[in-house]
Structure formats: C-alpha cells, structure tokens
C-alpha cells in the first residue's frame, strides 16, 4: 500500500501543471491500474500459494517493492534552498499562532463539504478489510483455504475497479 501512496503522490505532483481534465484522467489511470493489478494478484494468489508455496509467493511480492525502490533513483527532484526550508516563528507568538491555526482548521473542517467526505474516509478506513493481517488470521483459524481468501480479495478488487 505504501508503494501506491508514493505513486499517487507522484501523480499529484505531475498533475499540478496540467488541466483539470488531464489531472483527473491521470488520477483515474493510477487508481484503475492499481485495482486491475489487485484483481490479477487476487485471482492468482490462492492458487499460487497452493501450487508453489508461501516462500515463492513471498519472494515474488517482495520483488515488486524492490523494483520500485530501484526505479526511485531515476526520479528527478529539485532541491530547496535553505531559505525556503526554514520557517521561523517567534517563540512568544508560537502559542497564539497555534491557537489561530487550530481555529482556522476547525472553521474549515466543520463545513459539510469538508466534514462529510472526511467522515466517510474515516469510517472506510476504520472498518476491517479483506487484506488485513487479522482477517487472514481469523479465517485461517476457521479453516478457509488460501484460494478462498484470494477470491474474497478478487471480489474486493473488482468492486474497487467498478467504484
């Protein structure tokens, strides 16, 4: 999931200079590709574990983040000058400035067009998902096979792609 966050942040950075329709298309392509990859991996994950074993599947899944780390060297980043990096606040006004910023944040967050999507994302992330470690532990205790768990993840990924 961390790789997806890195890719998503790179898409956001790339989309800053594009039109709104292009940036939306880039974002859709990023999430659609992720959902498609999840479908493919979910479809084959259970049968690969049954056929080749856990170590082989772990090795394959470990290779992809390593490959991403190797390609990350090619990302061109611009350094910030030391003047741009330093943000100095006077120590006497730090508490007052913090209070003012908290009030501004609360004013923004309590608006329904900010609060409702934030609540949705919180509830979405607070619910258990089919790819959590606890899900695999509980279903393994019940006796579900890796193939069944792969199918559950497949359905989750198809729903994500449709969404």
Q: What is the mean pLDDT of residues 5-20?
A: 75
Helix crossing, 54-71 with 20-52: angle to 10°? 150
Q: How far apart are CA 30 and CA 23, in angstroms?
A: 11
Question: Residue 158, exposed/middle/buried by CB under 10 A (0-12, 13-18, 19+)?
Answer: middle
Per-residue tokens: 75: 């990302």
- Tokens 């606890």, residue located: 134
Is the pLDDT higher at 4 or at 13? 13
- Do the Cβ atoms of 54 and 146 come closer than 8 Å? no
* pLDDT tens digits for range 119-151: 888 887 777 665 566 666 666 667 777 677 777
Q: What is the pLDDT of residue 128?
A: 64
> Does residue 1 carry a pLDDT above 60?
no
- Do the Cβ atoms of 49 and 144 come closer than 8 Å? no
> Does residue 12 carry a pLDDT above 70?
yes
What is the CB neighbour count within 10 angstroms for residue 15? 17
Q: What is the pLDDT of residue 35?
A: 80
| Residue 155, SS3 per DSSP | helix
What are the φ/ψ torsions at residue 16 (nearest 5 degrees)?
-60, -35
Among 8-12, 93-97, 133-137, the minimum mean pLDDT is found in 133-137
> Does residue 104 carry a pLDDT above 60?
yes
* pLDDT tens digits for range 20-65: 777 778 878 887 887 888 778 777 777 787 888 888 888 887 887 7
Q: What is the pLDDT of residue 24?
A: 77
- Do the Cβ atoms of 52 and 64 come closer than 8 Å? no
* pLDDT tens digits for range 61-81: 788 778 878 887 887 777 766
Q: What is the mean pLDDT of residues 83-88?
A: 52
Task: Place 103 in a pLDDT band, splitting at 50, 70 and 90.
Answer: very high
Q: What is the pLDDT of residue 39?
A: 79
* Residues ≥6 apart with Cβ < 8 Å to 4: 34
Q: What is the pLDDT of residue 129?
A: 65
């Amino acid at each position: 999931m961390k790789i997806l966050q890195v890719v998503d942040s790179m898409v956001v950075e790339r989309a800053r200079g594009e039109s709104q329709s292009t940036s939306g298309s880039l974002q859709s392509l990023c999430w659609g590709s992720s959902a498609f990859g999840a479908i493919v991996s979910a479809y084959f994950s259970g049968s690969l574990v049954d056929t080749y074993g856990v170590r082989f599947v772990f090795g394959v899944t470990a290779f992809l983040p390593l490959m991403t780390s190797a390609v990350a060297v090619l990302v061109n980043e611009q350094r910030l000058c030391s003047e741009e990096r330093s943000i100095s606040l006077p120590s006497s006004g730090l508490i007052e400035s913090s209070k003012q910023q908290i009030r501004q944040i609360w004013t923004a967050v309590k608006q329904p067009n900010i609060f409702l999507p934030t609540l949705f994302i919180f509830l979405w992330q607070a619910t258990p998902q089919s790819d959590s470690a606890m899900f695999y532990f509980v279903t393994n205790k019940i006796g579900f096979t890796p193939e069944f768990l792969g199918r559950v993840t497949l359905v989750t990924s198809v729903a994500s792609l449709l969404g």
